[in-house]
Amino acid sequence: MKKVRVGVIGVGYLGNFHAQKYAAMDHVDLVGIFDNHIDRARQIAAACGTKAFADYPELIAQVDAVSIVTPTTSHHAVGMACLAAGLDVMMEKPITVTLAEADELIALAAQKRCILQVGHLERFNPGIMALEHYLDQPIYIESQRVHQFNPRGNDVDVVLDLMIHDIDIILSIVKSPLESMRTLGSSVVTSSTDVATAQLIFENGCAATVTASRIAQSNIRQLVIHQKKSSLIVDYGQKDITVIERSGGQTAEGYPLEEATHLPFPGQGDALKTELLHFIAAVQTRQQPKVSGVEGRQALAIALQLIAEIKEHQAAHQV
């Protein structure tokens, strides 16, 4: 199978890693990269053994597929240009700023028969991928993603910056329409929401509590899934899954009989490499990716609804 000619548009912090991963793939030809900061583009291009382009239209004319790793506000414009040229697109999350923009990208990708994958990286976390084997009708989910403050990414709300990862994971696990939600959130150190909690109720009866913060003193990333006969705990930091199985019996003291098994994450855990390999495989086989534009839109829709409700609550309680 011939090499896929790839370009990377936007080589900031994350885009740099996209370029590095592609450059190391035997079945990919990293044709070039583009960034508004040309000196940075040249530096990264030299490190990756490729070319820095002065504008991205010149780059997209020479490739089969692109990673778009620009600020979210430019996703729509850059994505539309790439799809219009017939390119397959790996779009970093969130897919766009608005649902209308997402709809246009999805429609054009379908019209042009192009692959449109959205970069919800945690779907390719080895712990999340291994979790699928143990899922059996979740009834309650708890997700916590709290980070220390980092200026990078603070141009967007914490819901779009961090919580959207967990929204996407929960949607992929529950597979049921959202029935209702309740939200709380506050701006603490930036002009947008820095800490948020959401309670999500799904039509199949499953409920989820999701917390995200970017003002914590330490990083905590954990997912807990309760089911009738088991509970599953994913600790992203420790790279460990705990499976707690309940037999239905009780101890002499009246506690439920439980057996816990600790499983380390399988493999090396390079989620970005796995994600980009998945994208290249979709380009080569023309199969829909695990996180399509439609799924990226679904996560965005809930994220935007959460943001709107948080803002409404904040406005109603301003002194």
**Do 298 and 284 form a contact (C-beta atoms < 8 A)?**
no
Predicted local distance difference test score (pLDDT) of residue 319? 42
Residue 47: CB partners within 8 Å, gap ≥ 6? 20
Spatial separation of the C-alpha atoms in residues 311 and 317, rounded to whole Å: 10
Provide, rounded to the nearest whole percent, the portion of the chain with pLDDT above 90.
Answer: 77
CA 109 to chain centre: 20
Query: Torsion angle, CA of 117/118/119/121, rounded to 10 degrees?
Result: -90
Confidence of residue 100 (pLDDT cuts 50, 70, 90): very high
Q: What value does the mean pLDDT take over residues 301-309?
A: 95
Spatial separation of the C-alpha atoms in residues 253 and 49, rounded to whole Å: 66
Superfamily of domain 123-267+302-316: Dihydrodipicolinate Reductase; domain 2 (3.30.360.10)
Q: Which residues on adjacent β-strands are paired with residue 230?
A: 245
Residue 83: CB partners within 8 Å, gap ≥ 6? 89, 105, 108, 109, 112, 114, 116
Could you tell me the two tokens for 88?
Answer: 């397959």
Superfamily of domain 4-114: NAD(P)-binding Rossmann-like Domain (3.40.50.720)
- Per domain, the residue ranges of the chain are 4-114, 123-267+302-316
pLDDT of 137 strictly over 50: yes
Confidence of residue 53 (pLDDT cuts 50, 70, 90): very high
Least confident of 148-157, 162-171, 281-290: 148-157
Tell me: the pLDDT tens digits for 241-258?
Answer: 999 998 888 887 878 888
pLDDT of 87 strictly over 50: yes
Relative to beta strand 207-216, strand 195-202 is antiparallel
Nearest alpha-carbon partner for 227 in 133, 317, 149: 133
**Do 99 and 304 form a contact (C-beta atoms < 8 A)?**
yes
